[in-house]
Amino acid sequence: MIIIGTILLSLPWAVKGPSLYWVDSLFTATSATCVTGLSVWDTGTKFTFFGQIVILVLIQLGGLGIMTFSTFFAVVLGKKITIKDHTLIKESLSSFETERIVILLKYVLIFTISAEFLGALCLYFCWEQSTTCFNPIYCSIFHSVSAFCNAGFSLFTNSLIDYKSNKIINFIITSLIILGGIGFIVINDLRGIWKRKDKYNKKVSLHTKIVIFLTVSIVLFSTCMLFIFENNNAFSGLTLFDKFQAAYFQAITSRTAGFNTIDTALLSSAGLFFIIILMFIGGASGSTAGGIKVNTLGVIYGMIKAIFKGRDRIELFHRTISRNIGYKAISILILSLLVVIIGVVSLLITENIKGESIPFINILFEVVSAFGTVGLSTGITSKLSLIGKLIITMIMFAGRIGPLTLALAITEEKVKLEYRYPEEKVIVG
């Protein structure tokens, strides 16, 4: 997908003016496929209608995943789905069920199309009489797909800054971001509650409980913190309601979407660092979001809680979680931090060679935004060197695939050992 997207965006009729340099085409194609939103060129002014459609298709395919679409078309064409295909889709959607995976797959596509259509319809009524929107129908479809897939690409030069006081547009965009970011498994689980006739069986899974609880908690806490940090900084000049609305929007979009109603460059250092944490956490597993995922954060919290309470089991919501899942969560956290550290150090070397010293917080922000497939930037994306763009491209790729998946893909096949070394104590802490 990235290679095809790079070739298409390199064509003369994909851009206005001179053709894109190959690294810029690669960067944009990767950003769209990995639903990140970082871009070295303005999507609305640099790309033609053809180029924008290429970006939109890459966003849609990248948001739902290759396995989802390839299997859907296989089913339509009457091809049988093998056990291996079932397993691959199960992992792609982070589902626990294998036997009903095709039914879930159909539901994912139906729900996606319905949510994006409804979002586009609502946005159209908002932009129908707008003087800033050149084509209300096209703008509505583009932004609805971009928001649901948590991509952050916008046809407006300053993203959604012109609509920071528009309550309806803020609500529509944030709702689409949340729906795309909590994951299809959660939505399907919640839908199943209402369909179950047995009132004693109306229970949600532990996965859903963790996602809903942490998502709501993080959004509420982040809204309050961003309001405190930016009340007299980036939010100055706004009414009290607009300040809370801007804080809420940034709390939602910072977790993976990439849209902004406030200029990110105006945020304080405290606000930037707090958003970095939100971008690193990301959304839920099996969604269009990036980051280490709230599920991972929940399991890590369960492990820390078990250690402090002196228990040998990971327990959340009166349920026990396998230690293997705990080890996997710790591995994801460590590998993710490693990717970010390597990326930051690399950019500090390559970008400060030119003589222009980019602040550390801006580089850290850019790297975490790329890793979390968020797309927010302090404005340094277009200033990056060729090597810097390639580094961010690789980080976006690693962030979308997932550091653990990437590590497992390049390591040797797991071999069961027939022996065990003697155990010995080590002093830590």
Read off the pLDDT of residues 73-103 as tens digits, 9 standing for 90 and up.
Answer: 555 556 565 666 666 665 555 555 544 666 7
Task: Give the closest residue to 402 by CA, choosing from 303, 295, 260.
Answer: 295
- Output the DSSP codes for 418-429: S--PPP------
Confidence at residue 184, expressed as pLDDT on a 0 to 100 scale: 76
Q: Which of the 8 DSSP states describes residue 412?
A: P
What is the band of 67 on the pLDDT scale with cuts at 50, 70, 90?
low
The overall average pLDDT reported for the chain is 85
- Which amino acid would we find at residue 185? I
Q: Which of the 8 DSSP states describes residue 238?
A: S
Confidence at residue 427, expressed as pLDDT on a 0 to 100 scale: 81
DSSP β-ladder status, 319-321 and 314-316: antiparallel
Ordered by start, the domain boundaries in the chain are: 2-410
Confidence at residue 198, expressed as pLDDT on a 0 to 100 scale: 52
Confidence at residue 196, expressed as pLDDT on a 0 to 100 scale: 57
Task: Give the closest residue to 268 by CA, choosing from 234, 219, 222.
Answer: 234
What is the band of 338 on the pLDDT scale with cuts at 50, 70, 90?
very high
Cα separation, 311 vs 213, in Å, equals 23
- Which sign, positive or negative, has the C-alpha torsion 87, 93, 96, 97? negative
Cα separation, 403 vs 183, in Å, equals 19
Cα separation, 402 vs 27, in Å, equals 18
22-36, 110-124, 194-208, 283-297 — which is least confidently predicted? Answer: 194-208
Region at 159 (left for phi over 0; alpha for psi -120 to 50; beta for the rest): left
Which pTM was predicted?
Answer: 0.87
Q: Give me the phi and psi of 300, to 5 degrees please.
A: -65, -40
Residue predicted with more confidence, 404 or 368: 368
Show Cβ contacts of residue 376 under 8 Å, excluding neighbours closer than 6 positions: 37, 152, 253, 254, 258, 260, 264, 275, 279, 365, 369
